[in-house]
């Protein structure tokens, strides 16, 4: 057992990432242990390679591996209740993603209308809850890092942490809105008069969750943790009710109202009608009657002729302008062109590849809507879901259209013989977010997939950003005589004109407070606020989300460290919700079509200009209006040069009022140590990749990271890292690092 927890988790990560090597659909524990021995040497290889590739591929590898791990559907993060946000949050947590032994708990459900609060479990309870699974092995053992990577994240090695069992519990779903439903969960969850149940998290013993030294230090520093539930902040109550009560108040800037629908950019829709093209009646019927679209958007009008002609197309169009239908419509028509009846075991005639799971799900929903009156089917496969159930679905109900993420498709190409077989009849290949899929991170997967596909096919590549180098690599997939259709042009603005863009330069130590201020300002101005806050890493996202939840903000959380089930739920919740803030990593940066997002706030350095544009593109979609704010630390100001051609104006003053400071401090004191440690390590990993751009030496990097730990996270000293982690980050011998 001494081998178990920490080693097992790390090695499990290696296994998971090596899923494509092991090609094993499921492991029993003894098998796993045996494999670990064999794969031991692979660990460092994995870590190293993971640090050297683009995050997207790694995210995919990791996500496709989740089905192999025992904890991918572990219950996860606590959620705070709030009044007025029309959605509920499922407090689920994925602890120790690779390894199973988490001390996390699942709370019971409270009553009411889906508001859920935190509860508390003790470790003992948690053990019995999980049937006595071994937990808390290796107390005091240092955490183990692997390089964390997000959907579209930073170029290389943002570091993250996966660690041994941790001894805290949470969960519990709380009470209902307006005091209905009690939310009594576990021993301490309780219902709240307004805003539903809430519960308490308590700091667990330090076993396995952080380095012993760090835990000791942190405990010395940490303020005593209140056993009271995190009371809804009066400040937030007031802010929310201010905007809630102002039904009749005109939007602050009616011109820029984000929810008006028909307002916005008239240039989005053309005068060209779908029925003026020779599309099949079932497609027209679905467009008119189900989707409610009669006229084409600019990109649809520009690309449909070439796509319907069977040409290969590389298309560039601004975010939120209907590219999805732009490629789905001609692809479906292409299947119909072959004539004949539907076979019981059809080929996969259209293959759509998406870089993220959320986007794949969204494309599939749109495909299903378009197929409503067609005798054709679509199917989806993506990482993080059960690969065996994929296989069953693919074999029992084969579909003509397959939508997938690259990692999972690779798995099936290797392990599900019917998939490569059925791909032999492929007619149309679509790469959505093509520049991302052809980027270094995904390219090996895409190259491999291409080897399985027939040369005689049509290929469609779509994105809002096509950097010059994409023209070179696109040759991997496109025929030389392909059409490049650019509906944006290099000379014109690359972002939607109806989005107001600004930037604020805020010292690192003030950024949480500044985020609070900006959110509060927006909530006051925008009655139906719906905000996306992008953070640089999954762990920073987790920290912000938990902090804002803890002080009663209507906050949701999504990133690659969450189980796929939680990601899907959160995504749906945000899609349907209003008066809500989603803290997110770059898993939401591209393609995701959340309706009526009123503001996008980017905190910290975007990886590049394209990433800035894609994140910003989550608002002001389908011709609507929106606002985007970029918050940079003073040392990140250089990034403004990269977006100098975009109309960013300086955001007004960002005073961090005393009440905000107090709230932030309160929220901070309620965070678990491991959240702080993980955020620190991720920060170090992320900025490690940008040292050159920032003009930092490694010593500068460490100094800044340590400042982040002490001045922003409130730790008494920076946490200690494992020697191996330091080596993996290339920081050996750098002064200022604490090593276990």
In the complex with ligand ATP, the residue whose CB is nearer, 296 or 587, is 296
- What is the distance between the alpha carbons of residues 569 and 76, in angstroms, rounded to a whole number? 12
- Angle, CA of 692, 695 and 697, to the nearest 5°: 85
> Which residue is listed with tokens 């290969």?
312
Binding to ligand ATP by residue 617, rule CB under 6 A? yes
Report the nearest approach of ligand ATP to the CB of residue 122 (Å): 45
Report the nearest approach of ligand ATP to the CB of residue 664 (Å): 32
DSSP element (H, E) containing 353: strand 350-353
Scanning residues 251 to 270, which ones bind ligand ATP (CB under 6 A)?
A: 269
Report the nearest approach of ligand ATP to the CB of residue 369 (Å): 9
In the complex with ligand ATP, the residue whose CB is nearer, 296 or 682, is 296
In the complex with ligand ATP, the residue whose CB is nearer, 296 or 531, is 296
Map residues 13-32 to x or -, x wherever contact with ligand ATP holds by CB under 6 A.
--------------------
DSSP 175: B
The residue from 55, 591, 626, 719 that contacts ligand ATP (CB under 6 A) is 591
144-147 and 159-162 strand pairing: antiparallel
How crowded is residue 472: how many other Cβ atoms within 10 Å of its Cβ?
Answer: 9
The residue from 174, 320, 330, 406 that contacts ligand ATP (CB under 6 A) is 320
Cα separation values, 4 from 29, 99, 137, 258, 292, Å:
11, 9, 7, 52, 56
Binding to ligand ATP by residue 324, rule CB under 6 A? yes
- What is the distance between the alpha carbons of residues 165 and 207, in angstroms, rounded to a whole number? 7
Determine the interface stretch with ligand ATP among 109-117, 320-328, 668-676, 728-736 (rule: CB under 6 A): 320-328
| Residue 314 main-chain phi, psi, to 5 deg | -110, 115
Report the nearest approach of ligand ATP to the CB of residue 394 (Å): 26
Binding to ligand ATP by residue 427, rule CB under 6 A? no
The residue from 115, 163, 218, 323 that contacts ligand ATP (CB under 6 A) is 323
Binding to ligand ATP by residue 600, rule CB under 6 A? no
401-404 and 350-353 strand pairing: parallel
In the complex with ligand ATP, the residue whose CB is nearer, 274 or 708, is 274
Among residues 114, 109, 76, 69, which one has the least CA distance to residue 92?
76
Report the nearest approach of ligand ATP to the CB of residue 491 (Å): 20
Residues with Cβ < 8 Å from 437, sequence gap 6 or more?
56, 353, 355, 406, 431, 443, 446
Map residues 665-694 to x or -, x wherever contact with ligand ATP holds by CB under 6 A.
------------------------------
Q: Are 15 and 146 in contact (CB under 8 A)?
A: no
Report the nearest approach of ligand ATP to the CB of residue 366 (Å): 7
Residues with Cβ < 8 Å from 295, sequence gap 6 or more?
269, 270, 271, 272, 273, 274
Q: Are 608 and 584 in contact (CB under 8 A)?
A: no
Among residues 326, 285, 291, which one has the least CA distance to residue 305?
326
In the complex with ligand ATP, the residue whose CB is nearer, 269 or 313, is 269
DSSP element (H, E) containing 525: helix 511-525
Report the nearest approach of ligand ATP to the CB of residue 621 (Å): 5
Binding to ligand ATP by residue 445, rule CB under 6 A? no
Binding to ligand ATP by residue 284, rule CB under 6 A? no
Binding to ligand ATP by residue 355, rule CB under 6 A? no
Report the nearest approach of ligand ATP to the CB of residue 335 (Å): 20
Map residues 290-319 to x or -, x wherever contact with ligand ATP holds by CB under 6 A.
---x--xx--x----------------x-x
Determine the interface stretch with ligand ATP among 552-560, 598-606, 617-625, 720-728 (rule: CB under 6 A): 617-625
Binding to ligand ATP by residue 321, rule CB under 6 A? yes
In the complex with ligand ATP, the residue whose CB is nearer, 326 or 398, is 326
Name the E strands within 586-732.
599-603, 626-632, 648-650
How crowded is residue 247: how many other Cβ atoms within 10 Å of its Cβ?
Answer: 7
On the CB side of 700, how many CA atoms lie within 13 Å of its CA?
11
Report the nearest approach of ligand ATP to the CB of residue 630 (Å): 18
Report the nearest approach of ligand ATP to the CB of residue 275 (Å): 12
In the complex with ligand ATP, the residue whose CB is nearer, 218 or 609, is 609
Binding to ligand ATP by residue 325, rule CB under 6 A? yes
In the complex with ligand ATP, the residue whose CB is nearer, 145 or 593, is 593
In the complex with ligand ATP, the residue whose CB is nearer, 300 or 570, is 300
End-to-end CA, the chain: 22
Among residues 172, 231, 167, 175, which one has the least CA distance to residue 202?
167
Binding to ligand ATP by residue 153, rule CB under 6 A? no
Cα separation values, 283 from 101, 278, 333, 649, Å:
50, 10, 8, 43
The residue from 329, 409, 464, 721 that contacts ligand ATP (CB under 6 A) is 464
Size of the site for ligand ATP (CB under 6 A): 19
Report the nearest approach of ligand ATP to the CB of residue 618 (Å): 7
Q: Are 6 and 47 in contact (CB under 8 A)?
A: no
In the complex with ligand ATP, the residue whose CB is nearer, 192 or 618, is 618
Report the nearest approach of ligand ATP to the CB of residue 567 (Å): 18
Report the nearest approach of ligand ATP to the CB of residue 591 (Å): 4
The residue from 579, 621, 674, 698 that contacts ligand ATP (CB under 6 A) is 621
In the complex with ligand ATP, the residue whose CB is nearer, 15 or 616, is 616
Report the nearest approach of ligand ATP to the CB of residue 327 (Å): 9
Report the nearest approach of ligand ATP to the CB of residue 375 (Å): 24
In the complex with ligand ATP, the residue whose CB is nearer, 293 or 452, is 293
CA dihedral 224, 225, 231, 234 (to 10 degrees): 30
The residue from 90, 349, 525, 593 that contacts ligand ATP (CB under 6 A) is 593
- What is the distance between the alpha carbons of residues 426 and 431, in angstroms, rounded to a whole number? 14
Binding to ligand ATP by residue 322, rule CB under 6 A? yes
Alpha carbon 45 to its chain centroid, in Å, reads: 26
Among residues 693, 702, 682, which one has the least CA distance to residue 537?
682
In the complex with ligand ATP, the residue whose CB is nearer, 148 or 596, is 596
- What is the distance between the alpha carbons of residues 128 and 131, in angstroms, rounded to a whole number? 5
Determine the interface stretch with ligand ATP among 200-208, 482-490, 530-538, 614-622 (rule: CB under 6 A): 614-622
In the complex with ligand ATP, the residue whose CB is nearer, 123 or 325, is 325
Please give the structure tokens belonging to residue 194: 């307004």
In the complex with ligand ATP, the residue whose CB is nearer, 281 or 652, is 281
In the complex with ligand ATP, the residue whose CB is nearer, 241 or 492, is 492
Binding to ligand ATP by residue 435, rule CB under 6 A? no
Q: List strands edge to edge, sheet with 626-632.
A: 555-558, 580-584, 530-534, 599-603, 626-632, 499-505, 648-650
DSSP element (H, E) containing 125: helix 123-129
Report the chain's C-alpha Rg in angstroms: 25
Q: Are 435 and 396 in contact (CB under 8 A)?
A: no
Binding to ligand ATP by residue 565, rule CB under 6 A? no
Q: Which residues bind ligand ATP (CB under 6 A)?
A: 269, 293, 296-297, 300, 317, 319-325, 464, 591, 593, 617, 621-622
């Amino acid at each position: 057992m001494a081998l178990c927890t920490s080693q097992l988790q790390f090695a499990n990560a290696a296994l998971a990432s090596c899923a494509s090597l092991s090609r094993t659909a499921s492991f029993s524990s003894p098998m796993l242990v045996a494999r670990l021995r064999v794969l031991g040497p692979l660990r460092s290889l994995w870590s190293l390679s993971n640090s050297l590739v683009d995050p997207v591929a790694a995210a995919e590898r990791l996500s496709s591996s989740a089905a192999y791990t025992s904890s991918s559907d572990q219950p996860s993060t606590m959620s705070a209740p709030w009044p007025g946000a029309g959605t509920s949050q499922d407090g689920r947590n994925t602890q120790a993603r690779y390894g199973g032994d988490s001390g996390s708990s699942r709370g019971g459900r409270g009553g009411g209308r889906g508001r859920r609060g935190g509860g508390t479990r003790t470790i003992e309870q948690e053990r019995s809850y999980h049937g006595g699974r071994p937990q808390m092995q290796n107390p005091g053992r240092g955490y183990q890092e692997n390089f964390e990577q997000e959907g579209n994240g930073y170029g290389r090695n943002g570091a993250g942490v996966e660690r041994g069992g941790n001894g805290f519990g949470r969960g519990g779903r709380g009470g209902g809105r307006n005091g209905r439903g009690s939310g009594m969960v576990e021993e301490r969850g309780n219902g709240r008069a307004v805003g539903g149940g809430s519960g308490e998290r308590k700091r667990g013993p330090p076993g396995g969750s952080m380095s012993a030294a760090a835990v000791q230090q942190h405990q010395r520093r940490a303020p005593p943790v209140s056993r009271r539930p995190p009371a809804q902040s009066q400040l937030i109550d007031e802010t929310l009710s201010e905007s809630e009560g102002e039904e009749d108040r005109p939007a602050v800037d009616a011109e820029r109202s984000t929810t008006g629908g028909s307002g916005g950019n008239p240039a989005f829709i053309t005068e060209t009608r779908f029925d003026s093209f020779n599309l099949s009646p079932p497609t027209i019927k679905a467009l008119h009657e189900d989707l409610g679209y009669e006229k084409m958007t600019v990109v649809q009008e520009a690309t449909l002729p070439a796509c319907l002609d069977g040409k290969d197309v590389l298309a560039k169009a601004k975010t939120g302008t209907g590219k999805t239908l732009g490629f789905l419509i001609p692809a479906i028509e292409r299947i119909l062109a072959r004539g004949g009846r539907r076979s019981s075991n059809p080929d996969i005639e259209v293959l759509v590849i998406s870089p993220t799971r959320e986007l794949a799900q969204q494309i599939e929903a749109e495909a299903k809507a378009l197929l409503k009156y067609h005798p054709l089917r679509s199917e989806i496969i993506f990482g993080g879901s059960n690969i065996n159930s994929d296989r069953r679905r693919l074999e029992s109900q084969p579909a003509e259209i397959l939508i997938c993420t690259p990692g999972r498709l690779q798995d099936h190409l290797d392990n599900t013989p019917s998939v490569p077989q059925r791909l032999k009849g492929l007619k149309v290949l679509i790469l959505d977010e093509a520049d991302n899929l052809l980027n270094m991170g995904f390219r090996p997967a895409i190259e491999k997939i291409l080897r399985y596909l027939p040369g005689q096919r049509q290929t469609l590549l779509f994105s809002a950003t096509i950097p010059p180098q994409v023209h070179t690599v696109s040759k991997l997939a496109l025929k030389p005589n392909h059409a490049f259709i650019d509906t944006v042009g290099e000379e014109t603005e690359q972002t939607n004109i109806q989005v107001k863009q600004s930037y604020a330069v805020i010292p690192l130590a003030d950024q949480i407070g500044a985020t609070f201020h900006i959110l509060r300002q927006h909530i006051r101005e925008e009655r139906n606020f719906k905000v996306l806050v992008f953070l640089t890493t999954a762990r920073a996202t987790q920290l912000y989300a938990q902090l804002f939840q803890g002080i009663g903000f209507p906050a949701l959380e999504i990133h690659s460290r969450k189980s796929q089930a939680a990601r899907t739920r959160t995504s749906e919740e945000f899609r349907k919700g209003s008066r809500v803030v989603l803290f997110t990593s770059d898993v939401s940066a591209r393609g995701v079509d959340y309706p009526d997002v009123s503001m996008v706030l980017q905190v910290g350095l975007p990886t590049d200009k394209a990433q800035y544009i894609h994140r910003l593109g989550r608002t002001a979609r389908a011709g609507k209006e929106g606002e985007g704010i970029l918050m940079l630390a003073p040392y990140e100001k250089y990034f403004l040069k990269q977006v100098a051609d975009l109309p960013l104006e300086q955001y007004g003053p960002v005073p961090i009022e005393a009440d905000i400071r107090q709230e932030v401090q309160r929220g901070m004191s309620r965070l678990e140590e491991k959240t702080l440690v993980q955020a620190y390590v991720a920060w170090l990993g992320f900025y490690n990749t940008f040292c050159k751009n920032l003009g930092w030496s490694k010593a500068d990097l460490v100094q800044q990271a340590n400042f982040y730990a002490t001045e922003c996270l409130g730790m008494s000293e920076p946490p200690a890292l494992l020697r191996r982690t330091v080596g993996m980050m290339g920081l050996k011998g750098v002064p200022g690092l604490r090593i276990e």
